[in-house]
Amino acid sequence: MHDHITYAAGRLGTAGSLPDLLAAAFDGLELVERAATVLADPSRGPVRPGLDTALSEASQACWALATAPTVQSAEAGPPARTLGIRETVETLSRFCLQLTEALVAATAHTLDPADRIACLRAARHIARAHVVLI
Q: At what angle do helices 2-14 and 85-106 cross, to 10 degrees?
A: 20
pLDDT digits (tens, 9 = 90+) for 37-85: 888 887 877 777 788 888 888 888 988 888 888 874 433 344 345 556 7
Q: At what angle do helices 113-133 and 85-106 cross, to 10 degrees?
A: 160
Over 90: is that where the pLDDT of 20 sits? no
Mean confidence (pLDDT) of the chain = 83
Counting residues of the chain whose pLDDT is more than 90, the rounded percentage is: 21
C-alpha neighbours within 13 Å on the C-beta side of residue 114: 6
The more confidently predicted of residues 32 and 44 is 32
Counting residues of the chain whose pLDDT is more than 70, the rounded percentage is: 90
3-state secondary structure of 45: coil
Over 50: is that where the pLDDT of 89 sits? yes
pLDDT digits (tens, 9 = 90+) for 109-125: 989 999 999 999 999 99
